Amino acid sequence: MYGLAEICVKRPVFALMLIMALVVAGGVAFPELGVDRFPNMDMPSIYIRTNYPGAASQEVESEVSAVIEDAVATVAGIDELRSISRDGRSFVIITFNLNRNVDAATQDVRDAVSGAMNLLPPNIDPPIVQKRDLESSPIMTLAVSGPRTSRELYLFADRYVKNVIESSPGVGEVQIAGAADRAVKVDIDADRLAAYQMSILQVRDALVRQNTEVPGGRLDQGFRERSLRTMGRVADSD
């Protein structure tokens, strides 16, 4: 460092030319610098999302979240393991050590979850295992408001607004949050339930079985082919 300072003092023209060269090089390189709000980087976190239609948060916690946590707890390199249980949905978040390969960890988690499928309730949706991806994080949040009910606003956003945004160039996925589908509350008569020697779980399972749509195959009509399905979902409370 002392030698460079001595050269710059004794040869001011050389020092000036060196500074100008650095300034020019910086000016040329500056426009080429990449700037990304969400840089591509592998975060050591994995999410397991499982839908359990019709189940309360307590059932989701005991029958889904706890089972998945026990299954993945043996995966190597885990730094933190936690879960969030809500009505009808389970989230299990796994954070690994920084030196753990995320792709290998994701495969290990998938294998562990697959091995525990026989311990999970039969009417759940298949668990979805995915690693945290900053590029898939939402970059824009839009609010829909108006002089209508929340149900009407939800249908409007789902049928019209979502389709318009999804068809825009560069849009990968659109999700609607903040509203729920219409639900019917069922009040159970405890005396009649006891008279028939039934449990609440049996009533729930019967409602789930009757509230399904089953594929009915295909129908050939000349040059046309139509898909058939049974309309088994409950549309009203009658």
Is the residue at 206 inside a domain? yes
CA angle 43, 47, 53 (to 5 degrees): 160
Model confidence band, residue 213 (pLDDT cutoffs 50, 70, 90): low
Residues 79 and 127 in one domain: yes
Model confidence band, residue 112 (pLDDT cutoffs 50, 70, 90): very high
- Interhelix angle 2-10/12-29, nearest 10 degrees: 110
Number of domains in the chain: 3
Q: What pLDDT does residue 216 have?
A: 61
Share of the chain above pLDDT 90, in %: 14
Is the residue at 160 inside a domain? no
CATH number, domain with residue 131: 3.30.70.1430
Residues 49 and 131 in one domain: yes
Share of the chain above pLDDT 70, in %: 80
DSSP the chain: -HHHHHHHHH-HHHHHHHHHHHHHHHHHHGGG----SS-----SEEEEEEE-TT--HHHHIIIIIHHHHHHHTTSTTEEEEEEEEETTEEEEEEEE-TTS-HHHHHHHHHHHHHHTGGGS-TTSPPPEEEE--GGGS-S-------SS-HHHHHHHIIIIIHHHHHTSTT-------S-----------HHHHHHTT--HHHHHHHHHHHS---EEEEEEETTEEEEEE---S--S--
Is the residue at 65 inside a domain? yes
Say yes or no to pLDDT of 1 above 60. Answer: no
Residues 86 and 131 in one domain: yes
Phi, psi (deg, nearest 5) at residue 214: -110, 135
Residues 54 and 120 in one domain: yes
Say yes or no to pLDDT of 12 above 70. Answer: yes
pLDDT tens per residue across span 60-111:
888 999 999 999 998 998 999 999 888 888 999 999 998 888 888 889 999 9
Residues 60 and 17 in one domain: no
Residues 53 and 24 in one domain: no
Q: What pLDDT does residue 180 have?
A: 60
Range of 224's domain? Answer: 190-229
> Which is it for strands 78-86 and 215-221: parallel, antiparallel or unpaired?
unpaired
* Of the residues 100, 116, 136, the one at which a domain ends: 136
Q: What pLDDT does residue 25 have?
A: 87
Q: What pLDDT does residue 155 have?
A: 84
pLDDT tens per residue across span 151-173:
788 888 888 888 888 888 877 77
Which of 54-58, 127-131, 183-187, 231-235 has the least mean pLDDT? 231-235
Residues 122 and 57 in one domain: yes
